[in-house]
Amino acid sequence: MTGRPTILTRTIKLSILIIFLFLSLFCHLLTAQALPAAIPDSSSFQASPPTNVRAVDFKYDRGEALEVRWNLSSDDTGSNFITGYEVFRAGEKSDSFVSVGFVAPKTESLTDKSVERGKLYRYKVATNYKGNLAYSEISAAVAPEMDPINWNLLNLFIIGLIIAGAVIYFIAHAKRGKKLFIRKIAGLEAIDEAIGRATEMGRPILFIPGINDMDDVQTIAGITLLGRVAKVVADYDIKINMPVSRSLVMTTARETIKEAYLGAGRPDAYNDDMVRYITDEQFGYVAAVDGVMVREKPATCFYLGAFFAESLILAETGNSIGAIQIAGTAQPAQLPFFVAACDYTLIGEELFAASAYLSNEPKQLGSLKGQDVGKLLAMIVIIAGVLSATIASAWGSEFFAKLTEYLVRIFTIQN
C-alpha cells in the first residue's frame, strides 16, 4: 500500500537523519583527538632527544659487551610517531662517533657487542624522526670488563655439584667392594646371543658407531660397548667389520679392539683392517656401508652411536639381509626407525647405562648410580612443583605460590 508519508514517518526519518549527523560529528571529533594536534613538517621537525644516557658493563661476560640505556624521548608517545633510536659510540678522547645500532620506538636499551675489553667508550643516542636526528648528551666513559664467575649459573653449579658428589660417593662405595644394583637392560642380554649366532653361521659382525666424531658422548658410549663386543668376538674367533666415517673414531676403535684382543689373550688375531675409514660424507658413507652389508651378509649388525637420516637406510638394508640388529642412540628423531626395524634398541640413556651394566666396573657403576640420584631429584621436584602449582592456583595459597616460584627459579637458566 502506497500513499503520502504520515507525520510519524517524517518524524522518524528526520530523527534518523539527525542521529546520523550527530554520530558523524562525534566520530570526526574522536578521530581528530586521536591524531596528533598537528603533524609536523618532516623536513624541519626534530623530536626531543632521549635523556639520561648511560653505559654499563654487561654482567657476567668475558668483557665483550656494554649495555647502553636511556630514558625515552618525550615525543616517543606511541603509534610509531618517531622512527626509532640510533646509538652512536666513540672512544674516550675521540669525538668521531660511529653508529652501532638502531632500535625501534619504545626501546630503552641496546647491547653493543663490538667492543674490546679494557677500552673506554662513550655513547650518545639520537631520536630519529624521518631521518632528522636529535642527539642526547654524551654518556660517561665506561670500559667492558671480564667477570671471572658467572653467578647466573650458580644454581646449575650447585645441582651439578650434588650429582657429581653422588657419583664420587657411589664410585668410592663400589671400589670398597659393595655391590651396586643395576636393573636388567633389555637388549644387552641379546649381545652375546647375537655374536653366538654369527659364530654358528660363520659370518662376520658389522659394527657402526654412528657418523659423529669422538666429541659426541654417543660415539664414546658406542666405542665403550665396542670394547665388550670385541672381547666376545675375540673369544669366539669371528670376524668383525667396522666401517667408520671419522678418522678419530677409526683411531679410537682400533685401539679399543686391539685392547680387547689383548685382554682375550689373542693379540696375534688383531688386524688394523677390521676398522676402515670410508668418508666423512654422510650419504657416501651410507652407500658404502649398504654395499658392505649386501656383499658380506653379516649375521649381526650393531648400530651404537649418533645417527641421523641414515638410520632407516642402514636398518632396512640390515633387515633385508636377515641380520640380527641391535641399535642404540640418543637421537630422538632416529629412535623410532631403529625401534621399527631392529630386533633390540637401546633408547637414549640405556645406551650410556649399557656400558656400565656390561663392564661391572666400579667407576662406571658409580657414575650410573650418581646419575640416578639426579633423576630422583628431578622426579621429586616435578611432583612437588606440579602439586604446589596446582594447589596455589586452586586455593590461592601464598605459601605454595612462593614454593612454586622458588622451584621454578632453581631450574631457570639465566644467560
Footprint of another protein on 29-88 (CB under 8 A): none
State the first-to-last Cα distance of the chain, in angstroms, to the nearest integer.
Answer: 80
Supply the minimum distance, in Å, between the C-beta of residue 183 and another protein: 5
Distance, in Å, from the CA atom of 400 to the CA atom of 389, rounded to the nearest integer, reads 7
Q: Which of 103, 133, 201, 381 binds another protein (CB under 8 A)?
A: 381
Interface residues for another protein in 222-261 (CB under 8 A)? 248, 251-252, 255
> How many chain residues bind another protein (CB under 8 A)?
75
If we measure between CA atoms, which residue out of 252, 239, 224 comes closest to residue 296?
Answer: 239
**Contact between 176 and another protein per CB under 8 A:** no
Site string for another protein, 101-120 (x = CB under 8 A): --------------------
Cell of 255: 685401539
Q: What angle do CA 65, 66, 68 make, to 5 degrees?
A: 145
From the number of C-beta atoms within 10 Å of its C-beta (0-12, 13-18, 19+), residue 219 rates as buried
Supply the minimum distance, in Å, between the C-beta of residue 414 and another protein: 11
Closer Cβ to another protein, 86 or 290, answer by number = 290
Supply the minimum distance, in Å, between the C-beta of residue 382 and another protein: 5
Supply the minimum distance, in Å, between the C-beta of residue 34 and another protein: 33
Q: Which of 64, 350, 359, 363 binds another protein (CB under 8 A)?
A: 350
Interface residues for another protein in 141-160 (CB under 8 A)? 153, 155-156, 159-160
**Distance, CA of 387 to chain centre:** 27
Site string for another protein, 193-222 (x = CB under 8 A): ---------------------xxxx--x--
If we measure between CA atoms, which residue out of 342, 239, 235 comes closest to residue 292?
Answer: 239
Cell of 301: 649388525
**Contact between 162 and another protein per CB under 8 A:** no
| Phi and psi angles of residue 17, each rounded to the nearest 5 degrees, phi first | -60, -45
Distance, in Å, from the CA atom of 399 to the CA atom of 406, rounded to the nearest integer, reads 11
Q: Which of 38, 179, 183, 268 binds another protein (CB under 8 A)?
A: 183
Interface residues for another protein in 263-282 (CB under 8 A)? 277-281
Burial per residue of 14-24, b for 16 or more beta-carbon CB atoms within 10 angstroms, e otherwise: eeeeeeeeeee
Q: Are 340 and 316 in contact (CB under 8 A)?
A: no
Closer Cβ to another protein, 237 or 255, answer by number = 255
How far lies 412's CA from each of 17, 154, 196, 328, 376, in Å? Answer: 63, 11, 49, 31, 19
Supply the minimum distance, in Å, between the C-beta of residue 304 and another protein: 16
**Contact between 389 and another protein per CB under 8 A:** yes
**Contact between 291 and another protein per CB under 8 A:** yes
**Contact between 361 and another protein per CB under 8 A:** no
